[in-house]
Amino acid sequence: MSAPTSAAGPLRAVNVARLLTDTAARLPDRDAVVRGRRRLNWRELDARASDVAAELRRRGLGRGDAVLVHSPNHVELVATMFGIWRAGAVFAPANFRLTPAEVADLARLTTPAALICHADYGEHAAAVSDAVALPGGTLWLGAAADTPGAIAGLPEMSSPETDAAVWNGDPAWYFFTSGTSGRPKAVVLTHDRLGFVVTNHICDLMPGLDRDDAQIVVAPLSHGAGIHLLPQVARGAKTVLPTRISLDPAEIWQLVETERVTNAFTVPTILTTLTQAPRRHGTTSVRCATSSTPVRPCTGPTRNTPAPCSATCWCSTTGSARSPATSRSCRPTSTAGRRRRASSSAPAAGSAPGCR
């Protein structure tokens, strides 16, 4: 389907980077991203995104140019995402667990104008450079500030970079499939479509999401967790990044308690690992965790323990300080439930006990 147009031409879309621009203006001093002892507020995150956007523009990148990104979850990765969009370029993140040859294949598929790679994955960067021309060169995440091309060492802009003008149909994200049925494909997510996704998340999956919420990231930001990040940014909710690359249930549960985490994106295998692991920390702040696929049916909540549910959310049934209308953030997997408005006071047909 072609992008909507008017008699005057293509319709203007809202750049995804506008989510960060507006939140930084509205909540400049609130926590935006937390990882270990490092905390960035919204103003600081916005400034770093501008530094990335300015550097990409200086290297000749702009609207429609793909930027291949290879990195585990990192504070600089969040700034990079929005910097790419601010410059009008296309975010093309690879799963950091792929081999150098597999990432090189993705580069051939998307013909990126530049590569942004974590410093620990030099072999992957070399493979990409051998596979395709990179007129915009390579930038490095997680590198010391004095490293050439380091994101941490980019010049600080005296004023924010402007969000590039984009139109309906302009690609924002090349979303790579897993490749389980063949070679990975790049699904094109446009700025306007991502706007709909964010609105749907806020209105249906997570009604009541606001500045007092916090999410914990337990899956790669290169995939579904990156989509889940967008409504958090739109509403000013804090994002918490664990310090360990591999899933560490003990660290996750500790962060849930100390950072008062309310939501997360997860998948059944991760959810099962977390719920079955011993935990010595409070979880009453958790309201839901969205999942890309149904998770196992409710076995019944225990004291101070979220119940895994047969809905698209993992629900805390131990009570919430939120109003009843906003604490009913779990959406059932049934078609009837998905059609039910988030403001409904009645449980949806087929919803699990405690999931409202």
Please say if the pLDDT value at position 346 is more than 50. Answer: no
Q: Distances from the Cα of 279 to the Cαs of 217, 288, 306, in angstroms?
A: 18, 18, 12
Query: 215, 34 in Cβ contact below 8 A?
Result: no
Q: What is the mean pLDDT of residues 145-166?
A: 96
Asked, for residue 4, whether it belongs to a domain, the answer is no
Residues 185 and 199 in one domain: no
85: containing domain: 12-32+39-191
346 found inside a domain:
no
Q: Which residue has the tokens 């995804």?
A: 16
Question: What's the total number of domains in the chain?
Answer: 2
Residue holding tokens 């702040």?
285
- Ranking 75-79, 128-132, 242-246, 343-347 by mean pLDDT, the lowest is 343-347
Mean pLDDT (whole number) for 172-181:
85
Percentage of the chain modeled with pLDDT above 70:
78
Helix axes of 224-235 and 191-200: crossing angle, nearest 10 degrees: 70
Ramachandran class of 88: left when φ > 0, alpha when ψ lies in -120 to 50, beta otherwise? left
SS3 content of the chain, % helix, strand, coil (to 5): 35, 20, 45
314 or 151: which leads in pLDDT: 151
Residue after which a domain boundary falls, among 127, 158, 191: 191
**Does one domain contain both 27 and 109?**
yes
Same domain, 186 and 202: no
Per residue in 80-103, pLDDT (tens digit) is: 999 999 999 999 999 999 999 999
Do 17 and 164 lie in one domain? The reply is yes
Q: How confident is the model at residue 318 (pLDDT cuts 50, 70, 90)?
A: very low
Band of pLDDT at residue 331, cut at 50, 70 and 90: very low
Ranking 284-288, 312-316, 345-349 by mean pLDDT, the lowest is: 345-349
Predicted pLDDT at 58: 98
Do residue 279 and residue 139 come from a single domain?
no
Q: Mean pLDDT, to the nearest integer, of 179-203? A: 90
